[in-house]
Structure 1
């Protein structure tokens, strides 16, 4: 039984996490509203933690004038505070406190958190490159980065969805594969959509060991993302029913983004960000609701 002090602080932490997703991603904010009440606040807590870490390495620290060493110190301080919160169950950082509540409830542990912060550290090293250079990721570096920055986030969300659920080892293995594939697809779509910002402002080239993608490279990635999404979609019916609509809606949005990217010349991607109109987002969410409503529980 927690004291009123703890309850008020935890409620405030949850409100802070809600504000992060509302201000940073209308798409994911919409998707979380489609989740069951048992899952919704946990997914928002995960999003808030990874978003703040991402902001630290995507310019927040460097814009404040921090040198590379100081950027590492800021990120490592955030990571260490997260580790402490998992150990003690509380944090004086509202976002970390909210995440710790979710992690301790659902079983999220260091095996998922450590790869995430390792990928965030890789982004600090990219920012430390000379201003005239672009940090290119080899295939192996891309694989490791995507696992830490996106696939483990999918696995964290799966921990939430399966909390107090009974699944066979085979079903759990399928769902984990689907979660990793969905996370990778989301990240790779983001890489294509954000080519302009990544290359010009952040000086990163995640999708090629060269400094710039060709149209043939882009097409290959679009095909790869389609395959990743298909693998993920094959596992959606194994999810709890009150999670399926939200996951389907998010997957449909990224599939739509991928198809817009498919018909967009790569040079244009290096100049502007592809977007999905709100009316299309609403239509995709409505379709996800209908599909799940017609579906039987496994």
Structure 2
């Protein structure tokens, strides 16, 4: 690789190491030749997110212009034009090596643009439409790099894993998203549990939650776990060299939900993180797990757990997410 391309991959790896500790640890379990391509995809998605979320002092029109400019350079590069950018050469090289679907990248950029204007989602279906571009396509981008003997069968599981990871982030980061003027918990869910945005903001100011918000978060955890259940079969369909990586990512992201539960579903008291000792133990266990071993999945909510509230049933979240 030429110097500029090597530097671009290094830049993506540094973004991944600095901002995606959980996923970065899992990626270290991949063969070295695959890692740089995963770093490139992470760098692409993270940089777009930085334009949207780390330039809050700028007016929305300026932020949109910056995203459009960067997306334009990316699209120009896809058409073979020279690109002067610190990380896009690595992304374009990865796309070419694996012949990744260009439509996935267009969908992702569309969802990033939505974050500049959309501050809430009325229904879960509306949120899923957003996550199709911001999360599901990440799973399908990754699949050719991870490899699979049956990519068609693994594709739907990869999409669900993208949904599961992003819902985990939404649950963990309710407070941070409120600070940016957004809520990703659907409005219809808030209403079902008698929660308003004002209630969320008040809990944010207090640094602790209320019982209705606790029940709401517990319900959303159940919904995310349903996607983990749907994603699990796809991990054993991956190339053997990729399975320990994704077992680790699966367990560690799911572990964030365990931490949310351990703190009583209070996402305002502190940001839920998986302790470093547990992260290392999960990675070691994944390395020692024989290829093809079924993934341990979160079970359905126990009978009587989170009874219906204004027609909302936690067990129905499993059925809805699993189709």
- More deviation, 209-218/282-291: 209-218
Residues 181, 228 of structure 1: 8 Å contact kept: yes
Q: 2:42 aligns with which of 32, 41, 47?
A: 47
Using the alignment, how far apart are the partners of 1:34 and 1:70 within structure 2? 40
Write out the 4+ residue segments of structure 1 that deviate beyond 6 Å after TM superposition.
none
Using the alignment, how far apart are the partners of 2:99 and 2:245 within structure 1? 22
Q: 2:121 aligns with which of 126, 137, 145?
A: 137
Using the alignment, how far apart are the partners of 1:24 and 1:72 within structure 2? 23
1:85 aligns with 2:80: no
Residue 129 of structure 1 is matched in structure 2 by none
Residue 115 of structure 2 aligns to a residue in which SS? helix
1:155 aligns with 2:155: no
1:97 aligns with 2:76: no
Q: Deviations over 1:66-124 (max 9, x none)?
A: 21111110011111111111221752112111100001111123210111011111111
Residue 255 of structure 1 is matched in structure 2 by 254
Q: TM-score, normalised by structure 1?
A: 0.86
Q: 1:190 aligns with which of 158, 169, 174?
A: 169
1:22 aligns with 2:1: no
Using the alignment, how far apart are the partners of 1:295 and 1:265 within structure 2? 32
Query: Greater helix share, 1 or 2?
Result: 1
Q: TM-score, normalised by structure 2?
A: 0.79
RMSD after superposition: 1.9
Q: Deviations over 1:150-208 (max 9, x none)?
A: 1101110102123xx6x4xxx32321111111110000000011011111x11111012
Match runs of 1:27-38 below 5 Å:
27-38=22-33
Using the alignment, how far apart are the partners of 1:144 and 1:90 within structure 2? 33
